[in-house]
């Protein structure tokens, strides 16, 4: 059911420093920082040949990644995002299998303008997973 790995999201304490490491040291293509107030993050997209890395930094006091950064001051992997063709069919199948869907269970428009859902990390080996309809 799941398709391509759309992105790996990493929360970082210093967005400019992290972007420079990916660009200057690792030699990747890196976007300019983009504020996403509706998601409470500032993002830098790192484009790799087979997927993307999203560097996330809290934006605003009630940012959903602020507590994560407090628990992991050096930063850390936050979630994986898998592509699905039909997010409602995917949600129903996952819920039927006993996986918990976060929030109210209805897809929200994610950082790429496409519908997304998040799955409870305790149901997926301690990993927060996002599914995105592409
Ligand atoms: Co994501």
pLDDT one digit per residue (tens) for the chain, 134 residues: 999 999 999 999 999 999 999 999 999 999 999 999 989 999 999 999 999 999 999 999 999 999 999 999 999 999 999 999 999 999 999 999 999 999 999 999 988 899 999 999 999 999 999 999 99
User: Would you call 130 a catalytic residue per the annotation?
Assistant: yes
d(CA 20, CA 70): 22
Half-sphere exposure of 96 (CA within 13 A, CB side): 6
Predicted confidence at residue 21, as pLDDT, reads 98
Interval between CA 83 and ligand 1 midpoint (Å): 11
Catalytic residue among 20, 83, 106, 130: 130
Predicted confidence at residue 84, as pLDDT, reads 98
Interval between CA 10 and ligand 1 midpoint (Å): 9
């Amino acid at each position: 059911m799941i398709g391509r790995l759309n992105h790996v999201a990493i929360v970082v304490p210093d967005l400019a420093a992290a972007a420079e490491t990916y660009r200057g040291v690792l030699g990747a293509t890196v976007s300019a920082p983009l504020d996403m107030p509706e998601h409470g993050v500032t993002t830098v997209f790192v484009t790799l040949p087979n997927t993307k890395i999203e560097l996330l930094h809290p934006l605003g006091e009630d940012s959903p990644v602020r507590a994560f950064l407090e628990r992991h001051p050096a930063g850390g992997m936050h979630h994986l995002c898998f592509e699905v063709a039909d997010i409602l069919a995917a949600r129903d199948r996952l819920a039927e299998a006993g996986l918990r869907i976060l929030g109210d269970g209805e897809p929200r428009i994610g950082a790429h303008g496409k519908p997304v859902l998040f799955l409870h990390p305790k149901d997926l080996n301690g990993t927060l997973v996002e599914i995105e309809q592409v």
